[in-house]
Amino acid sequence: MSAATDAAPVTAPGNPIGQSVRDSLVIARRNLIRMTRIPEMVLFGIIQPVMFVILFTYVFGGSIKVGSTTDSDVYKDFLMAGIFAQTVTFATAGSAAGIADDMQKGLVDRFRSLPMARGAVLTGRTVADLVQTSITLLVLAIVALLVGWRTGSAEPTNIGRVLAGFGLLLLLGYAFTWIGALIGLSVRTPEAATSGGIIWLFPVTFVSNAFVDPTQMTPWLRHVAEWNPFSAVVQACRELFGNPGVVQSDAWPMQHPVWATLTYSIVIVLIFRTLAVRKYRRAAG
């Protein structure tokens, strides 16, 4: 299975990139059809972050200090970027479970025996997950507005900047689903993929600026938090949304969170897509 024969099949109709895109769309469509047949999965995916928004807002609101205030309205505006970012990264578990399920059920073997583009099964999965994440994020934003989240509450902003913030969230979320794809290919069961897809996200999302100010952490933890890709997107969103809690730090990702998020996302996709596709090609069902 050399790269050369895969990339340029002698009798292939059309060009390889066109085929790759077509095959990925066929698989994405298949995964989206599945979502409509298992609506409860989409529903739980929405309920979980909505619950976080409500619990955090009403339980912690008023007792956590943001900057120099414990005003619960300030806290809401501070909180949402973190919750949004957590939501998009938790989609990783869905990708991992979905791919592990395909492996276990023998679908990966079916696909691997077909003359299709090698990366398409994984790309199709991540694209379908991106669609699902977008829906979840939309619902979540509406709920956030309902409980009192407002853009431009700390600094002025505009609709373009707000949408750019959501774009960055989806981009980093998409990059993370490739980590999920690799996890899904590496474990034996969908159950293991679900926990394996989520466990590592707790330190990633909590050792960050999402829920507390990293300048309050011990120095080494603070460095980890400031260079955490997850912190970059949260920082970027707070800036773009005009929300409070922007970390004052000399660390490059905190200074240039938008560029940092873009860079991190591209690097994560490049590394994990390469690893995942290689693993897929050798996958034993």
Partner 1 sequence: MPGAIYAEGLVKTFGDVRALDGVDLDVPEGTVLGLLGPNGAGKTTAVRCLTTLLRPDSGKAVVAGLDVLRQPNEVRRSIGLSGQFAAVDEYLTGRENLQMVGQLYQMKGRAAKARAAELLEQFHLSDAADRPTKTYSGGMRRRLDLAAALVVSPPVMFMDEPTTGLDPRNRQELWEVIKQLVAGGTTLLLTTQYLEEADHLAHDIAVVDHGRVIARGTSDQLKARTGGERVEVVVHERDRIATASEVLAGFGKGSTTVEEHTRKLTVPVTGGAKLLAEVIRELDTRGIEIDDIGLRRPTLDDVFLSLTGHLAEMADEANGSADDAGHEQEKETAK
> By the criterion CB under 8 A, which residues form the site for partner 1?
1-2, 5-6, 9-14, 19, 22-23, 26, 29-30, 33-34, 37-38, 105-107, 109-116, 282, 284-285
Shortest distance (Å) from residue 22 CB to partner 1: 8
Decide whether 39 or 156 has the Cβ nearer to partner 1: 39
Instruction: Output the CA angle 61-64-66, nearest 5 degrees.
Output: 105
Q: Cβ atoms within 10 A of the Cβ of 126, count?
A: 30
Token couple for 188:
């034996």
Token couple for 225:
């938090």
Shortest distance (Å) from residue 110 CB to partner 1: 4
Shortest distance (Å) from residue 284 CB to partner 1: 7
Find how far residue 216's CA is from the centre of its chain: 26
Q: Which helix (H) or strand (E) holds 184?
A: helix 159-186
Shortest distance (Å) from residue 181 CB to partner 1: 18
Instruction: Output the CA angle 37-38-40, nearest 5 degrees.
Output: 140
Decide whether 122 or 179 has the Cβ nearer to partner 1: 122
Q: Cβ atoms within 10 A of the Cβ of 265, count?
A: 22
Decide whether 110 or 199 has the Cβ nearer to partner 1: 110
Shortest distance (Å) from residue 276 CB to partner 1: 18
Decide whether 66 or 122 has the Cβ nearer to partner 1: 122
Decide whether 38 or 266 has the Cβ nearer to partner 1: 38
Decide whether 18 or 67 has the Cβ nearer to partner 1: 18
Decide whether 19 or 255 has the Cβ nearer to partner 1: 19
Shortest distance (Å) from residue 16 CB to partner 1: 10
Nearest by Cα to 243 from 69, 53, 73: 73
Q: Which residues pair with 66 in a beta bridge?
A: 69
Shortest distance (Å) from residue 93 CB to partner 1: 19
End-to-end CA distance of the chain: 17
Token couple for 246:
């922007």
Nearest by Cα to 127 from 21, 233, 205: 21
- 197: exposed, middle or buried (Cβ count in 10 Å: 0-12, 13-18, 19+): buried
